[in-house]
């Protein structure tokens, strides 16, 4: 992991959001470096930093990656960029298909251009399993040759990956792309467990579940995601690289519903399934990721899928009690 002598200058887009705030906190806690958070606070929150908000090594810029001139000025002089700013509500594209381009691909282009113009050479990017599209029920490696996204989220993430690859080759940058499983943990603002918790908080007698509940996916705790980030940052490998990051087990949607109900201390909740194999039109109901590449470098997840979701739900229950999450039908 990153050592205390590390005094790099880190730049984190989306650094006040779910994964970004955890990364910012970890960098402040485990390195001697400075961290610039660049976030428009659409979903990010300053309370995510706790007392670290007063750390003189932390600089917070309230701005949008679509503001190219502001971004270029802010990013200048940094050593490493963690680009996490993107649309976090994947299903929202069902009614607003432009959201993933406007809040994903376009932002990545602007970040890469700002890096090129200011001479910043290292970028770490959060992609996801959506780039693979519909896949067979077996672990998919990074070099899977039939990548046909079925959602605008997956398509725009794949476009971002392609841009990073091109800029890395053309302008001598170092790009690391992480294709994460479903990331869960404290500070979550979206996701199936988050939706379930809000619904049963609103009506503890019943729970609407999109699909038939058999959708089956791996889940990864945000702490395991940070371990992957910082391990690759330490290794500082040359060139452009891709890594799947996932647990080797999985949970169904019905099992997640059971966890939410149990952790909320509820009984007799009626599950109302909408039917069908998908939670929404572009949902990929089943996938597995082969993470052997990053495991060969020393990474290992500390949480199973079930442990990760339980920890996430417990954190959300605390947020619910503090009024940070509101009940909703």
How far is it, in rounded angstroms, from Cα 177 to Cα 24?
18
Q: With 0-12 CB in 10 A as exposed, 13-18 as middle and 19+ as buried, what is 35?
A: buried
Task: State the catalytic residue, choosing from 10, 38, 132, 153.
Answer: 153
Rounded distance, CA 196 to CA 270, Å?
Answer: 12
Active site residue 153: yes
Q: Which residues contact 52 (CB under 8 A, 6 or more apart)?
A: 24, 25, 28, 29, 58
CA dist 170 and 204 (Å) reads: 56
Catalytic residues: 153
């Amino acid at each position: 992991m990153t050592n205390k002598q590390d005094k790099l200058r880190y730049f984190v887009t989306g650094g006040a959001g779910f994964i970004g705030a955890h990364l910012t906190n970890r960098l402040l806690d485990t390195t001697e470096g400075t961290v610039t958070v660049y976030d428009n606070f659409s979903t990010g929150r300053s309370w995510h930093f706790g007392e670290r908000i007063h750390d003189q090594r932390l600089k917070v810029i309230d701005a949008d990656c679509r503001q190219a001139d502001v971004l270029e000025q802010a990013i200048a002089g940094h050593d490493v960029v963690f680009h996490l700013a993107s649309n976090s509500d994947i299903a929202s594209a069902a009614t607003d298909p432009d959201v993933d381009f406007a809040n994903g691909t376009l932002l990545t282009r602007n970040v890469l251009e700002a890096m090129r113009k200011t001479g910043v050479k290292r970028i770490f990017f959060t992609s996801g399993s959506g780039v693979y599209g519909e896949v067979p029920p077996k672990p998919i490696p990074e070099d899977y040759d039939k990548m046909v996204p079925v959602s605008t989220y997956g398509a725009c993430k794949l476009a971002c990956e392609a841009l990073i690859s091109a800029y890395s080759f053309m302008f001598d940058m170092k790009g690391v792309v992480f294709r994460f499983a479903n990331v869960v943990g404290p500070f979550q603002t979206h996701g199936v467990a988050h939706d379930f918790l809000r619904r049963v908080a609103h009506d503890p007698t019943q729970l609407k579940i999109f699909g038939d509940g058999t959708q089956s996916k791996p889940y990864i705790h945000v702490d395991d995601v940070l371990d992957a980030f910082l391990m690759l940052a330490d290794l500082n490998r040359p060139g452009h690289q891709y890594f799947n990051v996932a647990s080797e087990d999985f949970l169904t949607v019905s099992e997640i519903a059971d966890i939410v109900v149990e952790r909320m201390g509820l009984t007799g909740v009626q599950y109302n399934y909408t039917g069908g194999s998908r939670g929404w039109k572009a949902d990929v109901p089943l996938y597995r990721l082969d993470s052997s590449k990053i495991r060969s470098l020393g990474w290992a997840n500390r949480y199973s899928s079930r442990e990760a979701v339980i920890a996430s739900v417990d954190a959300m229950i605390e947020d619910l009690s503090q009024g940070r999450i509101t009940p909703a039908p």
